Structures are given as C-alpha cells and as structure tokens.
Amino acid sequence: MDHRLTTTALTIPGYRVVHTLGVVRGVTVRARWIGSQITASLRTLGGGQIPEYIELCEQARAEAFAWMVQHAEEMGANAVISVRYDATDLGNNMTEVLAYGTAAIVETE
C-alpha cells in the first residue's frame, strides 16, 4: 500500500472512495526498559523533553501504524481513511498503542 494513501481525513484529494471495507486496526504493547525508565525519571526533575519516552512513543506508533496498514492490505484495501491513534497505560510501565481507520478502495479521479 502506498502510505500516501493513508489519511486522518475522510477523503484523499485527487481520489474517490469506490468502496469501504470496514475498520482496520493495529495494536502494540510496549514496556519501558528499566534503564531508560530510571534515566527518564531523573530527567523529569529538570523538566523539558524526555528523549527516552519520545523514542518509545514514536516506535510504538510506527509499529501500530504498520500493523494497521498490513490489516488493510489483507482485506484488499489500497487506502486507509479516517486514521486515528489511541493509547492506554497498562500497569506501571506498559502502554498499549492502537492505530485504527477505515479500509477503503480508492481510484484516481
């Protein structure tokens, strides 16, 4: 699937939705490594960005997105519209990240 054909919008400029195939999702659960958790905790004392958590969030979102795209491809879609993310803490050091959207078949206008 061409990743340019994934969007948070309901339409893709230059394309028309021919058929929707249903909701697709990608889920991942990530745990923070104890060493990065300690480093990140120390960084909170000074305030500002916490690179260890930023990296963890970016990796989790990318993995959930990839799973969502794979699910869409398995359904025969060539696009995913109305893409969203959600995250939930599971315990003290685990986070679930969910990417979801509507699998669609689109054609150029």
Q: What is the pLDDT of residue 93?
A: 74
How would DSSP label each residue in 28-45? EEEE--HHHHHHHHHHHT
pLDDT score at 102: 98
Q: What is the pTM of this model?
A: 0.82
Q: Where do the domains of the chain lie?
A: 3-30+61-108
Architecture of 3-30+61-108 per CATH? 2-Layer Sandwich (3.30)
Question: For residues 45 and 106, what is the distance between their CA atoms, to the nearest angstrom?
Answer: 49
pLDDT < 50 positions in the chain = none
pLDDT of residue 37: 54
